[in-house]
A = this chain, B = another copy of it.
Amino acid sequence: MISKDKKFLIVGLGLIGGSYAEGLKKAGYTVGAITRSQSSIDYAIEHGIIDAGTISVTQEFVSEYDIVVFSLYPHVFIEWIEKYQEYIKPGALLTDVTGVKGAVVNRVQSMLRPDLEFIGAHPMAGRETSGVQNATARVFEGANYIVTPTFKNTPEAIETCEEIGRILGFKTISSLTTAEHDEMIGFLSQLTHCIAVSLMNCKDDAEKLSRFTGDSFRDLTRIARINEEMWTELFLLNRNELLRQMDLFSAQFTRLRDAIANGDEATMKQMMVTSTERRGYFDKKA
């Protein structure tokens, strides 16, 4: 258990940062926040999501906190560490919510003060909305939380980081290497976003098509509504792994296309039987 006198600082108070704040506050912790917009701070204080907040990064404020959670764009996160890590309380634990791990975790761990510890985490949750106004720890219900420790991490930090996931109400807490994480996320999340974006780019008569669409197309393109700044950054930070996953998919798609072109019913059916069998594992358990 993380002692209740530990104070959390959220850096970046958007949908995910705000949801961390809300969940930690509800669990009885003191939560502070630093973010770019004063209105987000005002909203969060009014709604009891944080105890204190500021838009200016000062040693006086930052050094109050024992555990710092970064919910920022990757390059902003790294710049923040470069610029402000001197303000952080000695012995503090740092963690994050970034969607790619290899490029970020190694970079941050190698530049960090020796008396601080950073351990990467990825809460696999999100919504099509954004901003602290939409924040709620309910977004974590039924979702997965992945910790990506390296040889630089202590057992205590790993335990604390996993405990944060439990406090926030994630369904599953797992541990992966950064490479395992990036392969998995390249396939399950980045590739699927690439597919949805490509599909939505195929036809320019979207309005007309929408009158005929069923749930299949809707489901496949829900994630085509995408923040182009964040995802471009995440794709490029995981470029090699993502390209590998895209090529894996293309190979299977081409295999199916060739089977259809050749009237090869055996291959078509075999691929459908395989997909039907495997899909069973992905049903949401109640």
Chain A residues within 8 Å of B, Cβ to Cβ: 124-126, 143-144, 146, 172, 174, 176, 184, 187-189, 191-203, 206-207, 209-214, 216-229, 231-232, 235-236, 239, 242-243, 245-250, 252-257, 260-261, 263, 265, 268-269, 271-276, 278-282, 284
Contact across chains for B211 and A239 when beta carbons are under 8 A apart: no
- Chain B residue, CB-CB nearest to A197: B275
Contact across chains for B188 and A212 when beta carbons are under 8 A apart: yes
Contact across chains for B282 and A211 when beta carbons are under 8 A apart: no
Contact across chains for A144 and B219 when beta carbons are under 8 A apart: no
Contact across chains for B281 and A228 when beta carbons are under 8 A apart: no
Contact across chains for B278 and A260 when beta carbons are under 8 A apart: no
From known contacts A261-B243, A282-B206, infer whether A212 and B184 are also in contact, taking CB-CB under 8 Å.
yes
From known contacts A214-B188, A216-B193, A250-B253, infer whether A268 and B198 are also in contact, taking CB-CB under 8 Å.
no
Question: In the bound complex, what is the Cα–Cα distance between A243 and B259 (angstroms)?
Answer: 11
Residues of B within 8 A of A246 (CB): 253, 257, 260
Q: Which listed residue, B125, B265, B278, touches A214 by the CB 8 Å rule?
A: B125
Tell me the smallest distance from the CB of A183 to a CB of chain B, in Å: 10
The 7 closest A-B pairs by CB, nearest first: A200-B275, A228-B272, A206-B278, A224-B275, A198-B252, A210-B281, A198-B253
- Chain B residue, CB-CB nearest to A189: B216
From known contacts A188-B212, A200-B279, infer whether A236 and B220 are also in contact, taking CB-CB under 8 Å.
no
Question: In the bound complex, what is the Cα–Cα distance between A202 and B184 (angstroms)?
Answer: 12
- Chain B residue, CB-CB nearest to A223: B216
Question: In the bound complex, what is the Cα–Cα distance between A125 and B212 (angstroms)?
Answer: 11
Residues of B within 8 A of A278 (CB): 200-201, 206, 224
Contact across chains for B211 and A188 when beta carbons are under 8 A apart: no
Report 22 cross-chain contacts, Cβ distance below 8 Å, ordered by A residue: A125-B214, A126-B214, A144-B212, A146-B212, A176-B212, A187-B209, A188-B217, A192-B217, A194-B257, A195-B199, A198-B255, A200-B274, A200-B275, A206-B279, A209-B281, A216-B222, A222-B279, A228-B269, A229-B269, A236-B263, A239-B261, A242-B260
Residues of B within 8 A of A217 (CB): 188-189, 192, 282
Tell me the smallest distance from the CB of A7 to a CB of chain B, in Å: 30
From known contacts A198-B253, A265-B236, infer whether A214 and B228 are also in contact, taking CB-CB under 8 Å.
no
From known contacts A198-B271, A226-B272, A229-B269, infer whether A144 and B243 are also in contact, taking CB-CB under 8 Å.
no
- Chain B residue, CB-CB nearest to A280: B225
Contact across chains for B188 and A274 when beta carbons are under 8 A apart: no
Question: In the bound complex, what is the Cα–Cα distance between A250 and B194 (angstroms)?
Answer: 12
